[in-house]
Amino acid sequence: MFIIKYKKIFLGFAVLLVVLSAAAVWAFGIRAGIDFTGGSLIEIEYAKGLRPDVVVVKGQLDKGGFKDAVVQPIGEKGFMIRLRSLDEKDHAAIVSVLGSDPINQPVEKQFNSIGPVVGSELRAKAWVSVLSVLFAIVLYIAFAFRKVSTPVSSSRYGLIAVIALAHDVVVPIGLLAVLGHFMNVEADVLFITALLTILGFSVHDTIVVFDRVRENLKLKISPDFGEVVGRSINQTMARSINTSLTVVLVLSALLVFGPASTYYFSFILLIGIISGTYSSIFIASPLLVVVEEYQKKHAKAVRSGSSDPAARQGKKKHK
């Protein structure tokens, strides 16, 4: 009952996170990667381990005419370089520029190029994927809880789940905006994959709690809806936290020991999993109680209005 008792604090904290994340997106924007804008990606590695400073490599590229290049260190020996689309001539030129130092020449590990048409198509498909998942989740929850009508209807279960999911998506997007502004991290296909994974994991946790609420309503463990939700949270909290903890441990290991190319994917996914666990326990379930309390107050106001003699007299005069 602690969570239900102090639901305004937990909901207020969630609102604060969403506002800060939205402010970060508004202020910094999202740096779209070449997957969505088109461009070229070159990964180089200094085999001898004598990696120069980022400023040195950026200066080499500027002198070679590639001033739009974004240089990002990866691992202990390499750099990831993102820039406009390159043809074979430009590709050979940039390799020559980077290898201008005969003593410490880099080795090209990979080179990828994506055209603007393909990038635009990927961007559209990414939006369709996220919105389709949200719509499917609403339909599923409305169907799964179709027999629940009191004191909160099944459609409101779906709406509350989407509100919690919005929190789980906005927070990682805000984090990406901050990372993009200060560390040149870009949104790519892996980021969309992380968002879809977060949505699936978060709604799974939320449905577990909602399902326990539904079962406890059938058992009529208490006439107070707030107490029913509170007990349901207590009964499922250990399961939710333990499940999330196993994923957090795996992602933490991937962050420490995994390749540099998946570092930010793992980091965004880790924050999203933590955010999703918080939302299923501290946002979605308390919102059920908030909706139920609002419905009770509204119904009471309607009844008191209809029982007011002045109101009834007014209605008669109106007739």
Domain with residue 210: its CATH number is 1.20.1640.10
Q: What is the pLDDT of residues 243-257, one digit of tens each?
A: 889 999 999 998 888
The 8-class DSSP code of residue 319 comes to -
Q: Are residues 246 and 109 in the same domain?
A: no
Q: Are residues 125 and 96 in the same domain?
A: no
Q: Are residues 151 and 264 in the same domain?
A: yes
> Residue 67 belongs to a domain with what CATH number?
3.30.70.3400
Q: What is the pLDDT of residues 10-53, one digit of tens each?
A: 999 999 999 999 999 999 998 887 777 778 888 888 877 678 88
Please tell me the least confidently modeled range out of 54-68, 111-125, 160-174, 291-305.
111-125
pTM above 0.85, yes or no: no
Are 78 and 260 spatial neighbours (Cβ–Cβ below 8 Å)?
Answer: yes
Q: Are residues 62 and 164 in the same domain?
A: no
Beta strands in the chain (DSSP E): 39-45, 70-74, 78-83, 107-114
Q: What is the pLDDT of residue 313?
A: 54
Q: Are residues 63 and 176 in the same domain?
A: no
Q: 113, 148, 172 — which closes off a domain?
A: 113
Tokens of 265: 């994917």
User: Both ends of the chain: CA-CA distance in Å?
Assistant: 49
Q: Are residues 129 and 263 in the same domain?
A: yes
Q: 113, 148, 174 — which closes off a domain?
A: 113
Classify residue 310: in a domain, yes or no. Answer: no
Q: What is the pLDDT of residues 183-209, one digit of tens each?
A: 878 888 888 889 888 988 888 888 888
Q: Across residues 69-93, what is the average pLDDT?
A: 81
How many C-beta atoms lie closer than 10 Å to residue 73's C-beta? 15
Classify residue 309: in a domain, yes or no. Answer: no
Instruction: Express the helix, strand and coil content of the chain in percent, nearest 5 each.
Output: 75, 10, 20
| Residue 93 lies in domain | 39-113
Residue 271 has pLDDT above 70, yes or no: yes
Q: Are residues 223 and 254 in the same domain?
A: yes
- Alpha-carbon Rg of the chain, whole angstroms? 26
- Average pLDDT value for the chain: 83
Q: What is the pLDDT of residues 122-151, one digit of tens each?
A: 778 878 888 888 788 778 877 777 776 677
Burial letters 204-215, b for 16+ CB under 10 A, else e: ebbbbbbebbbe
Classify residue 318: in a domain, yes or no. Answer: no
CA 312, CA 305: separation in Å to the nearest integer?
A: 8
Give the pairing type, strands 39-45 and 70-74: unpaired
Please give the tally of structural domains in the chain.
2
Among candidates 241, 248, 250, which has minimal Cα distance to 271? 248
Residue 190 CB burial class (10 angstroms; 0-12, 13-18, ≥19): middle
Residue 301 phi/psi, 5-degree rounding, is -65, -40
Residue 229 has pLDDT above 70, yes or no: yes
Among candidates 289, 309, 319, which has minimal Cα distance to 11? 289
Among candidates 169, 164, 192, which has minimal Cα distance to 264? 192
Classify residue 319: in a domain, yes or no. Answer: no
**Using 50, 70 and 90 to split pLDDT, how confident is the model at 84?**
confident
CA 202, CA 160: separation in Å to the nearest integer?
A: 13
Q: Are residues 23 and 72 in the same domain?
A: no
Q: Are residues 134 and 104 in the same domain?
A: no
CA 262, CA 242: separation in Å to the nearest integer?
A: 24
Residue 85 has pLDDT above 80, yes or no: no
CA 283, CA 107: separation in Å to the nearest integer?
A: 50
Q: Across residues 85-111, what is the average pLDDT?
A: 80
Q: Are residues 248 and 296 in the same domain?
A: yes
Are 3 and 230 spatial neighbours (Cβ–Cβ below 8 Å)?
Answer: yes
